[in-house]
Amino acid sequence: MDYYAGVDLGATNVRAVVAEDDGTRIGVSRRSTPRGPTGIDVTEGVLRTLREACGDAGIEPGAIVAAGIGSIGPFDLVEGAVIDPANLPDSIDRIPLTGPIEKLIDSDDVYLHNDTTAGVIGERFHAERNPDDMVYITISSGIGAGVCCDGEIVSGWDGNAGEVGHCIVDPTGRLTCGCGHDGHWEAYCSGNAIPNYARYLAEDDPTTSTDLPLEGPDFTAKDVFELAGEDELADYVIDQLAHWNAIGVTNVVHSFAPIVISFGGAVALHNEELVVDPIRERIEEMVMSNVPEIRVTDQGDDVVLEGALASALTGGTGDRQRIHD
């Protein structure tokens, strides 16, 4: 029997899954992502998690014929490494992944993707409708897209295609993004940005009433969505998020002509009515070409892990016709 593995390397957790050749999961493992001190410590954490998933499955790592990785970026794809990840300590400058995993499983079939690209691979593999033209968009602590266009997974030479959260949606650049530039989609609508954006809107129009704990240390995006329909400022923030999200998604539609756009990430998954439904309504009026089906992933929090496994099963493509390719 041949076995396949998927790895999801996030800033918080690293997860691994081992499956049989029909995709049936037989082993899993999850650990906290090591906070360094060096990138090698993170690499070792990934290898340990994968070995544990093999142990859970009762197989040796050498029995795995192919592995996929969905990871935080940015990347040096030629080196098969993550370079200067934004959400890990500064002492972590380089996390080698492809080489060490190839060595562990004794196979050259190791596919490294950014997490949103793994997302589109997983969606393509599992979705009821799996056209050759689809986009996966995550709205979580950040915003990003994985793109499949003309049946090709678009990764870019360095693995960093699809960073749509850093597209400029507000040319007046009122808010600064975590990346340091102004006016980016992610600076308004990501889970990390929403509290800051709510404070900005409150200052902009102090007559808006609110019970939101704007200056409290624990104020999060969740507070905004919980007060929907009950709080003037919360409703205004949610309406403005819909405005920027619709602009961002319209830009994605005009760039890649997807037939399906699938949403994931905590902000979209937990607030489909308040975040995804308004996008669906608004882009009808904003898109000049074919309007794609807008859906939410059925994979929930597993979308990156499932995508990594689907990549291993399909030679890095998510195309079900290329299983064990």
Residues that bind Zn ion (CB under 5 A): 166, 177, 179, 181, 184
Taking the complex as a whole, how short is the minimal distance between the CB of residue 181 and Zn ion, in angstroms? Answer: 5
Taking the complex as a whole, how short is the minimal distance between the CB of residue 190 and Zn ion, in angstroms? Answer: 10
Taking the least distance from each CB to Zn ion, the nearer of 133 and 186 is 186
Taking the complex as a whole, how short is the minimal distance between the CB of residue 186 and Zn ion, in angstroms? Answer: 5
Taking the complex as a whole, how short is the minimal distance between the CB of residue 137 and Zn ion, in angstroms? Answer: 15
* Longest alpha-carbon distance in the chain: 67
Taking the least distance from each CB to Zn ion, the nearer of 166 and 322 is 166
Taking the complex as a whole, how short is the minimal distance between the CB of residue 59 and Zn ion, in angstroms? Answer: 42
Taking the complex as a whole, how short is the minimal distance between the CB of residue 149 and Zn ion, in angstroms? Answer: 23
Taking the least distance from each CB to Zn ion, the nearer of 88 and 177 is 177
Residue at shortest CB range from Zn ion: 177
In this structure, the dihedral spanned by the alpha carbons of residues 107, 112, 116 and 120, taken in order and rounded to 10 degrees, is -40
Taking the least distance from each CB to Zn ion, the nearer of 180 and 206 is 180
Taking the least distance from each CB to Zn ion, the nearer of 11 and 179 is 179
Taking the complex as a whole, how short is the minimal distance between the CB of residue 212 and Zn ion, in angstroms? Answer: 25
Taking the least distance from each CB to Zn ion, the nearer of 51 and 166 is 166
Task: Give the sheet arrangement for strand 134-139, strand by strand.
Answer: 152-154, 143-149, 134-139, 260-264, 293-296
Taking the least distance from each CB to Zn ion, the nearer of 185 and 236 is 185
